[in-house]
Amino acid sequence: MTVAVKEVRLRSFQPFPRRELRRLRASWLRRNWDVVGFLAVGFTLMAALITVPLSMSDLPGRWYLLGFLHAGLAAAALHLCNSAFLAHEGTAVWQLRGAWGEENTRSELQKAKRRRVIWGWVDSITLRDGDLDHVVVTRSGGIVVLDSKWRSAVDARSIAEMTASAKRAGARAQGLARTLLKSERGVKHRASAQPVTVVSVVVLWGAVRQTVPDGHEVDGVHFVDGRKLVPWLRQLGGPSVPSEAARDVLEQLKDYRATAFKAAQERAPGRR
């Protein structure tokens, strides 16, 4: 029973691009069910034409060969459907790249936690006017809000857009942190605590990540090569964050995420 609940929670809080990609795919399949059905019938007939003569032959290992051919046909059909979906759904590739970026960043954060660079993090926090990709509680450096981006190339306009997006994410995280701290029941951690510091970061993936100079900063927003995220987090300075305080903040963030996600589903039941 406990395992089932955990599995539901893990699926519920997939990155927003993954959820949006799933919604787009379901919508595309509904609009093109006739084409998909025709494709399925065609591949089924191909499988039958291969299966009947091969099963009646005396070829050694024919059943293994049949299994291999059936798996190959199924994989080809799925690949063809997915390629058609990505080719015809305008924003699908954009969402897929966003999902890759967030998943890569999550892998780096797992490394950072294992190496005791951070206390932990919370992904995919839904807000009314947007979402936060990753909110990280460091061991010394306050709270870091990461905005993951997958890019093949950038120009001045895209840098300005990414900077503005990261600043909005930082402001949202700052407001959320203040709200959570005000509503915290226990005040033993805050008696001598300093104000919460929120650092805004754009984590770049794709071909462009190799062009990011170390220490690059635009209007208070840090730009970091995704593969260098762990060293960048390690060099952050600031007062140490007590483990108990970090645990409280992370738990409150998770609780807020669950509540906000449920509210978003109720506002738009057809989008998830």
Same domain (yes/no): 116, 127: yes
Distance CA 124, CA 131 (A): 6
- C-alpha span between 36 and 169 (Å, rounded): 40
More confident residue, 175 or 202: 202
Q: 43-61, pLDDT tens digit by residue?
A: 889 888 888 888 888 888 8
User: Would 272 be classed as within a structural domain?
Assistant: no
| The pLDDT of residue 186 is above 80 | no
Nearest to 253 by CA among 118, 126, 111: 126
Q: pLDDT value at position 6?
A: 41
pLDDT per residue as tens digits for the range 188-234: 444 344 567 789 999 999 999 988 888 899 999 999 999 999 999 99
CB-CB neighbours of 184 under 10 Å: 15
Tokens read off for 267: 């506002």
Q: Are residues 84 and 148 in the same domain?
A: no
> Is residue 196, in this structure, part of any structural domain at all?
yes
Q: Judge if 118 and 65 occupy the same domain.
A: no
pLDDT recorded at residue 222: 96
Give the structural domain span for 199: 93-266
Residue 148 falls inside a structural domain? yes
Token pair listed for 59: 């070829």
The torsion angle over the Cα atoms of residues 233, 235, 237 and 242, rounded to 10 degrees, is 50
